[in-house]
């Protein structure tokens, strides 16, 4: 069943690519094709060029902490946590489309072992 879905998916992609290519040859713009197919003009351009959708890596870590939570754990201001992350002192991960910072709890705990005086305040 999975193999048949893949074949059908490939046929649809090939059909869409042919349709876009033929419309482009007649002078139709990406935006016009996009409106017709319900896709963005950028996606139309990608299909025409043979660029597949980006496959973003998804980081799945347990116990991801926000900067404020880390600051509370360490007894410092949230801006200090951000500064340490910028300098590479404390490992941070960028998540979501805005690039929000998240910290693994085990990284914060390792940081505390390396710098025990931070939490003593």
Percent helix, strand and coil across the chain, each to the nearest 5: 60, 10, 30
The pTM for the full model equals 0.50
Written as six digits, the tokens of 10 are 């490939």
Domain range for residue 104? Answer: 64-120
Distance CA 35, CA 32 (A): 5
Distances (CA, A) of 55 to 45, 50, 52, 58, 65: 17, 15, 9, 9, 25
pLDDT of residue 69: 94
Say yes or no: 73 and 112 in one domain: yes
Across all residues in the chain, what is the average pLDDT? 84
pLDDT of residue 14: 79
Q: For the segment 4-45, what is each residue's pLDDT rounded down to a tens digit?
A: 777 766 767 778 888 888 888 999 898 998 888 888 888 888
Say yes or no: 41 and 69 in one domain: no
Question: How many domains does the structure of the chain reveal?
Answer: 2
Q: For the segment 82-91, what is each residue's pLDDT rounded down to a tens digit?
A: 999 999 999 9
pLDDT of residue 104: 92
Beta-bridge partners for 100: 95
- pLDDT tops 70 at residue 80: yes
């Amino acid at each position: 069943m999975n193999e048949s879905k893949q074949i059908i998916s490939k046929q649809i992609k090939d059909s869409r690519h042919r349709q876009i290519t033929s419309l482009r040859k007649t002078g139709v713009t990406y935006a016009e094709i996009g409106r017709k197919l319900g896709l963005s003009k950028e996606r139309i351009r990608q299909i025409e060029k043979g660029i597949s959708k980006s496959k973003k890596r998804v980081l799945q870590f347990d116990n991801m902490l926000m900067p404020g939570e880390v600051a509370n754990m360490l007894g410092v201001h949230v801006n200090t946590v951000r500064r340490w992350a910028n300098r590479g002192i404390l490992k941070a991960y960028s998540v979501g489309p805005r690039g929000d910072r998240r910290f693994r709890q085990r990284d914060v705990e390792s940081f505390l072992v390396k710098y025990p005086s931070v939490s003593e305040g």
